[in-house]
Structure 1
Amino acid sequence: MRAATLFKLLFGVLAVVFLIAPLVAILPLAFTSSVFLTYPIPGYSMRWFNELANANVWRMSIINSLIIGTGTTLLAGTLGTLAALGLRNAGLVLPGLFRTVFLLPMVVPAVVLGVGMQVFFVHLGLANSYAGVIAAHSVVAVPFVVVSVTASLAGIDRRVERAAASLGASPFTVFRRVTLPLALPGILSGAVFAFATSLDEVVLTLFVAGPNQRTLARQMFSSIRENISPAIAAAAFLFIVGTLLIAAIAVLVRRRTEKMKQPAEA
């Protein structure tokens, strides 16, 4: 029994090392004083973060990523939550088919989605606009919200909702006062995934965004093609730290929500 436990622990440690090793390799290069991405690091400097802050192309790409990421989070979070609530309906015909349709953007190649969206958005007048990029990112972000919120809704005891309804609460009141607070942890998790998906999306951005909507991920992709600079490592550092901070905030809110639910359940 002890040997099995040690094997599981060793396997878990190796899996974590395998996942974070690329991050450990690239992040220190964000603070290099060299103009090349090489080890050993000759010295440490904040020059590449200063370049991100002072260079117009990098500064605008960061602002664009925040604008588009926030819009994607709100739109994908709303649509994904509504979709998960709809899939929860016991009277829904062919729920498995609808669930598969919502998850299709996760398996369809991004190039295929990008070409289709480019043609479609041109007819709608959304090409080369913030609204178009937000809509495109939301398409690939909604499945993550649906999965997260669906899992959260599956853990809700329907008897609690029925009890609220039996006490005279309207369907909207039951949703607002019972279902939504209980599903909030899943909604927050889905929102984090949606924001991270938007930050990381490159292919769709290449198809639907114009020069004024160049995101940080697209700028990093362009910089790799033109000149590999440590500024890319600095941008990656901001990516990772920003995502971790958002995830940490979501975890804190989730724990606070669970603590608030405990007295009510007691």
Structure 2
Amino acid sequence: MSTNTQDIAGIGAPRVDEALAARPRKKRDISVRWIALTAVASLVGLYLILPTLLIIPMSFSDSSSLGRISGHWTLKWYQELVEKKDWARAAGVSLQVAALSTILATVLGTAATFGLFKLSPRVRAFMQGTSMAPLIIPPVIIGIGVYILMLKLGLFGTLQSLVIGHAVLSIPFVIVAVSTSLAQFDPSQEQAAAILGARPWTRFRRVVFPQILPGIVAGALFAFVTSWDEVVVSTFLVSPNFRTLPVEMWIQARTTVTPVLAALSTVLMVVSTLALVGMFRLQRTRK
């Protein structure tokens, strides 16, 4: 028995050694794979963001033509952006439209999400897919449809037409964000509040709303960014004396291409980036 035990121990020892020797190799393989994936992801991210980042040094370049970066730096393009009345007027219109369309999209999107969660799972899935149509349909088609509707209502070229058109594009983002928060909400809490005598509005204000607020704010930020950068639908709804900032940029780009466009693009990117950073911080706080 002792001989057999020694033989078994002798046979098992090399296998244990081989297993122990294989572990570091597996760790090395995982680390190499991780480094390779990180490098590929970094290259793809750099490829996507590099054309956008090139706009920033162009906005500070002393060169009078867009696309060339000279060795001298200046702030005159930002100064021209502030002093020119057309840009200031367009910026004011964009802020008004973005603020009003965000409020409208947030209210309608939140209400629609609550209605969807009252439906059966099959009907809810169908209605959620239908509500995502503005994300799938080309903006040109939406712009033509809203343009025809505004003409019939006599609202073409007004602030109301832009607010409605932008809200149509923003509501799906609000529905997605609020749906995520509602999916994590425990309905038994609202039921407990009802048993204790709380009325529907009190249950919503004291129990439901505080827990889904991060989703509502995230949807509102998405709606604001969508409206702030929208150009296709806006092109069908603006008038010569009533233009948003992206539409004014598009018109200027077709006539005179100067680094002022780069300065304005940088400002738009900063606003959009701040909104997205705020949304990510809200999501991290919720977690």
Same fold (TM over 0.5): yes
Partner of 2:25: none
How far did 1:163 drift? 2.2
How far did 1:130 drift? 0.2
Among 181, 187, 209, the residue aligned to 1:152? 181
Structure 1 residues 107 and 254: CA distance shift in structure 2, 3 A:
closer
Partner of 1:89: 118
Q: What are the residue-to-residue correspondences of 1:251-266 with 2, within 5 Å?
A: 251-252=280-281, 258=286
- How far, CA to CA, are the matches of 2:40 and 2:187 in structure 1? 39
Structure 1 residues 176 and 226: CA distance shift in structure 2, 3 A:
same
Q: What are the residue-to-residue correspondences of 1:212-231 with 2, within 5 Å?
A: 212-231=241-260
- Residue by residue over 1:57-97, the C-alpha shift from the partner in whole angstroms, topping out at 9 and shown as x without a partner, is 11111111111111111111111111111111145772222
Partner of 2:13: none
How far did 1:161 drift? 2.1
Q: Is the 8 A contact 2:63 2:69 kept in 1?
A: no
- Residue by residue over 1:215-250, the C-alpha shift from the partner in whole angstroms, topping out at 9 and shown as x without a partner, is 110011111111211111111111011122233344
Partner of 2:34: 5
Q: Is the 8 A contact 1:118 1:207 kept in 2?
A: yes
The higher radius of gyration belongs to 2
Partner of 1:43: 72
- How far, CA to CA, are the matches of 2:69 and 2:144 in structure 1? 42
- How far, CA to CA, are the matches of 1:193 and 1:37 in structure 2? 30
Partner of 2:10: none
Q: CA-atom RMSD, angstroms?
A: 1.9
- Which range is displaced more, 153-162 or 190-199? 153-162
Among 165, 172, 176, the residue aligned to 2:201? 172
Letter in 2 for 1:118: Y
Q: Is the 8 A contact 2:174 2:216 kept in 1?
A: yes
Q: Is the 8 A contact 2:91 2:245 kept in 1?
A: yes
Q: What are the residue-to-residue correspondences of 1:11-50 with 2, within 5 Å?
A: 11-50=40-79
- How far, CA to CA, are the matches of 2:282 and 2:125 in structure 1? 31
Partner of 1:192: 221
Q: TM-score, normalised by structure 1?
A: 0.90
Residue 163 of structure 2 corresponds to residue 134 of structure 1: yes
How far did 1:144 drift? 0.9
Partner of 1:263: none
Letter in 1 for 2:82: A
Structure 1 residues 253 and 3: CA distance shift in structure 2, 3 A:
closer
Percent identical = 34
How far did 1:9 drift? 2.2
Partner of 2:97: 68
Structure 1 runs (4+) deviating above 6 angstroms are none
Residue 88 of structure 2 corresponds to residue 59 of structure 1: yes
Give the number of equivalent residue pairs: 258
Structure 2 spans left out of the alignment, 5+ residues: 1-29
Residue 140 of structure 2 corresponds to residue 111 of structure 1: yes
Q: Is the 8 A contact 1:184 1:254 kept in 2?
A: no
- How far, CA to CA, are the matches of 1:108 and 1:207 in structure 2? 16
Partner of 1:264: none
Q: Is the 8 A contact 2:218 2:282 kept in 1?
A: no
Q: TM-score, normalised by structure 2?
A: 0.84
- How far, CA to CA, are the matches of 1:209 and 1:23 in structure 2? 27
- How far, CA to CA, are the matches of 2:195 and 2:121 in structure 1? 23
- How far, CA to CA, are the matches of 2:235 and 2:190 in structure 1? 45
- How far, CA to CA, are the matches of 1:106 and 1:35 in structure 2? 38
- How far, CA to CA, are the matches of 1:255 and 1:93 in structure 2? 31
